[in-house]
């Protein structure tokens, strides 16, 4: 098991180091990894509540709120009150947020393509399949430990 943990830690560090320079090189915005994850989730979900995105990212709502305020100040997201429940804040990407996210997508696609370029098509597919299996196993393990957690049901 130590070698699995070690390999996961090495991969995480190396992949994070790829991401750390992303925004300086691709979109000109100082967007942290956490903030880019928020932008990504907003695009995926449309106009979700702050609570929904915080749960999806497994992030404390207070921490998430600070990140959302920063993104709003940068003009990358907008916040509005839900017409159905005035206590709920809805989030959406602005045009600038969508532009920045598209730049990040292009940058990361190029970086990932460079990583995969040294692999055969079979090796690529094996890695992708393995990542899906690993992600599914993490969800199953989380759900069995915390059956009442909403985020694990996604």
pLDDT 10s digits, 60-93: 989 999 999 999 999 999 999 999 999 999 999 9
Same domain membership, residue 143 and residue 107? no
Domain residue limits at 147? 120-153
User: Given phi > 0 = left and psi -120 to 50 = alpha, else beta, which region is 58?
Assistant: left
- Residue 20 is predicted with a pLDDT of 58
Q: Does residue 6 form part of some domain?
A: no
**Three-state secondary-structure class, residue 49:** strand
Residue 27, class by beta-carbon neighbours within 10 Å (0-12 exposed, 13-18 middle, 19+ buried)?
buried
In 3D space, the residue among 36, 28, 34 whose CA is nearest the CA of residue 108 turns out to be 36
Same domain membership, residue 92 and residue 125? no
The helix or strand, by DSSP H or E, that contains position 80, with its residue range, turns out to be: strand 77-81
Q: Does residue 2 form part of some domain?
A: no
**pTM (two decimals):** 0.77
Q: Is residue 41 predicted with pLDDT exceeding 50?
A: yes
pLDDT in tens, 123-154: 999 999 999 999 899 888 877 655 555 444 44
**Total domain count for the chain?**
2
Same domain membership, residue 131 and residue 109? no
Tokens of 2: 């130590």
The helix or strand, by DSSP H or E, that contains position 7, with its residue range, turns out to be: helix 2-20
Same domain membership, residue 96 and residue 23? yes
Same domain membership, residue 138 and residue 112? no
CA 11/CA 1 separation, integer angstroms: 15
Q: Does residue 137 form part of some domain?
A: yes
Same domain membership, residue 40 and residue 90? yes
CA 67/CA 60 separation, integer angstroms: 11
Question: Residues 85, 76: contact at Cβ < 8 Å?
Answer: no
CA 118/CA 113 separation, integer angstroms: 9
Q: Check the CA dihedral 137-143-144-146 and report its sign.
A: positive
CA 65/CA 72 separation, integer angstroms: 10
Partners of 83 in the β-ladder: none
């Amino acid at each position: 098991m130590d070698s699995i943990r070690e390999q996961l830690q090495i991969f995480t560090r190396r992949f994070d180091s790829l991401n750390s320079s992303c925004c300086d090189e691709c979109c000109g915005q100082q967007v942290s990894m956490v903030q880019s994850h928020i932008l990504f989730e907003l695009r995926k979900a449309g106009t979700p509540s702050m609570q929904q995105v915080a749960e999806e990212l497994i992030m404390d709502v207070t921490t998430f709120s600070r990140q959302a305020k920063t993104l709003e100040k940068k003009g990358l997201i907008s916040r509005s009150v839900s017409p159905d429940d005035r206590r709920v804040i809805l989030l959406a990407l602005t045009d600038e947020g969508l532009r920045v996210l598209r730049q990040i997508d292009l940058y990361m696609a190029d970086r990932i393509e460079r990583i995969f370029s040294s692999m055969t098509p079979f090796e690529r597919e094996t890695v992708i399949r393995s990542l899906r299996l690993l992600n599914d196993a993490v969800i199953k393990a989380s759900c069995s430990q915390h059956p009442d957690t909403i985020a694990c049901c996604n």
